[in-house]
């Protein structure tokens, strides 16, 4: 067993490097492999093997506590400070409607799926304390409204057991990838789907031309000072978040202990809430220009390190212990899809906005940009813009969804 965290961190980074290297290869076998097994799943799975076979001990390693305490709040800031409100407004109301309806579908679908499966199979949703299923589902809510950073934030707030979280990661990634495959397939049949939705796709062409020219105008090669500014923004906001959380949490614990039921006495809840708010606030200032030198890309690096350290705590043997959880995931995503398709058909919203708005919720910036690029490469920015909005509301929306699922489970 390897106990030196410096060695473990080196192993995790080599694993991430190998995954991203092989995923970038154009060889037919690798492309087929990653068409079936998404890279994100491997970022959880391979470190999980190290823990499951006793090579490392995720429960005693200090890597995850350090990464979650320092990297996660900075990651949320990097993802949200690039919010381009002007470009979002140029997308028109239909893009934002599709995005927000997708969020609403996730918030309704989770509690509905939990209630339905619990009615049919109570043992599937059984569990108490850290093994309460709703706590694990809360992490999926964060992931499917925002992304991996929001998922980790809600994991820290609601504290599901490691075994339960292992199961939820499998449900999250596999169901989300299945849905993304459907959306990418739909991109190839967009004209027929637009006809079904009674939508006009001409505005998409105008957006494509505008974003293409704007991307070229804002390209900038980062210099050392840019990275210093990024570190100042990310870790400065992290410090402020911890400072304020240290003031708020003891006050609430002492004066309003009843708020513990809603996790409002959790220090980490306030850390991620404040960090997200700071990131959104910075997007209204000139600091937003740090996105042009790679703020969200640096956030993605932090996120994958976080994913690997989470995976290192997983017991992969627990994934198959409760297969009924996949039924919850499938009903959940199906509810999201039905609500989104119904509203888009009612309002004549093009399939492009439906697909990207959905994936901005369920998959985050990487998946949303992939789906958008399936329509046209220059449209990838639309996916990133909507996904940043998802990061901004993911923790809050996921938190409210978790409270509804807690009410269903305990009521």
Are 401 and 110 spatial neighbours (Cβ–Cβ below 8 Å)?
A: yes
Q: Which pLDDT score is estimated for 133?
A: 92
Range of the domain at 328: 59-297+319-410
Q: Which pLDDT score is estimated for 368?
A: 78
Are 163 and 141 spatial neighbours (Cβ–Cβ below 8 Å)?
A: no
Residue 2 has φ and ψ, to the nearest 5°, of -90, 120
327-330 long-range CB contacts below 8 Å, 24 or more apart? 327/113, 327/117, 327/121, 327/124, 328/113, 328/114, 328/117, 328/124, 328/125, 328/137, 328/171, 329/113, 329/140, 329/171, 329/172, 329/174, 329/175, 330/175
Q: Is 47 part of any domain?
A: no
Residue with the bigger pLDDT between 127 and 254: it is 254
Which residues are within 8 A (CB) of 21 and not within 5 positions of it... i.e. 6 or more apart? Answer: none
Residue 242 has φ and ψ, to the nearest 5°, of -65, -40
DSSP state of 55: S
Q: Give me the residues paired with residue 2 across strands.
A: 56
80, two tokens: 């949200």
**Mean pLDDT over residues 258-263, rounded?**
73
Residue found by looking up tokens 């290869």 in the block: 25
Distances (CA, A) of 154 to 13, 177, 263, 402: 24, 21, 10, 9
| Whole-number percent of the chain with pLDDT over 90 | 35
Q: Is 51 part of any domain?
A: no
Q: How far apart are the first and last CA of the chain?
A: 44
pLDDT by residue (tens digit) across 185-205?
888 788 889 889 988 877 777
Q: Is 302 part of any domain?
A: no
Q: Is 235 part of any domain?
A: yes
pLDDT by residue (tens digit) across 8-51?
999 999 999 999 999 999 888 998 888 777 787 788 889 888 98
Q: How far apart are CA 411 and CA 114, in angstroms?
A: 13
Q: Which pLDDT score is estimated for 167?
A: 86
- Residue 263: pLDDT band by 50, 70, 90 thresholds? low
Number of structural domains, the chain?
Answer: 1
Q: Is 27 part of any domain?
A: no
Q: At 231, is the secondary structure helix, strand, or coil?
A: helix
Q: How far apart are CA 123 and CA 232, in angstroms?
A: 49
Are 72 and 152 spatial neighbours (Cβ–Cβ below 8 Å)?
A: yes
Q: Is 258 part of any domain?
A: yes
H-state helical runs in 53-92: 63-66, 72-80, 85-90
Closest CA to 172 of 364, 302, 315: 364
Best mean pLDDT range from 32-46, 151-165, 200-214, 224-238: 224-238
Q: Is 32 part of any domain?
A: no
Q: What is the pTM of this model?
A: 0.73
Q: Is 38 part of any domain?
A: no
């Amino acid at each position: 067993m390897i106990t030196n965290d410096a060695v473990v961190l080196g192993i995790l980074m080599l694993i991430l490097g190998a995954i991203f290297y092989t995923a970038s290869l154009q060889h037919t076998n690798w492309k087929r492999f990653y068409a079936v097994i998404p890279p994100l799943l491997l970022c959880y799975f391979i470190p999980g093997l190290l823990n499951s076979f006793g090579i490392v001990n995720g429960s005693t390693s200090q890597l995850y506590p350090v990464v979650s305490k320092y990297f996660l709040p900075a990651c949320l800031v990097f993802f949200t400070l690039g919010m381009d409100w002007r470009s979002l407004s140029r997308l028109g109301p239909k893009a934002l409607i599709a995005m927000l309806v997708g969020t609403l579908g996730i918030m309704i679908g989770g509690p509905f799926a939990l209630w339905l499966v619990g009615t049919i199979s109570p043992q599937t949703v059984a569990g108490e304390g850290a093994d309460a299923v709703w706590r694990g589902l809360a992490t999926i809510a964060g992931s499917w409204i925002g992304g991996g950073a929001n998922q980790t934030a809600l994991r820290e707030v609601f504290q599901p057991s490691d075994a339960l979280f292992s199961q939820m990661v499998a449900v999250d990634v596999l169901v989300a990838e299945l849905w993304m495959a459907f959306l990418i397939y739909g991109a190839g049949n967009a004209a027929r789907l637009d006809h079904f939705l009674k939508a006009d796709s001409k505005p998409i062409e105008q957006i494509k031309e505008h974003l293409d020219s704007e991307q070229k105008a804002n390209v900038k090669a980062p210099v050392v000072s840019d990275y210093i500014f990024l570190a100042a923004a990310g870790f400065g906001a992290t410090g402020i978040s911890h400072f304020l959380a240290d003031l708020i949490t003891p006050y609430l614990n002492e004066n309003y202990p009843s708020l513990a039921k809603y996790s409002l006495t959790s220090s980490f809840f306030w850390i991620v809430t404040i960090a997200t708010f700071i990131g959104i606030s910075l997007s209204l200032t000139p600091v937003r220009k740090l996105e042009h030198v790679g703020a969200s890309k640096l956030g993605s690096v932090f996120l994958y390190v976080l994913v690997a350290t989470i995976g290192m705590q997983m017991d992969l043997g627990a994934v198959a212990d409760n297969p009924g959880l996949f039924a919850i995931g499938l009903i959940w995503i199906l509810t999201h899809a039905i609500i989104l398709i119904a509203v888009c058909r009612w309002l004549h919203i093009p399939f492009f906005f439906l697909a990207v708005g959905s994936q901005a919720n369920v998959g985050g910036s990487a998946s949303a940009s992939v789906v958008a690029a399936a329509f046209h490469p220059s449209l990838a920015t639309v996916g990133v813009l909507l996904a940043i909005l998802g990061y901004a509301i993911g923790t809050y929306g996921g938190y409210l969804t978790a409270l509804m699922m807690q009410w269903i489970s305990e009521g």
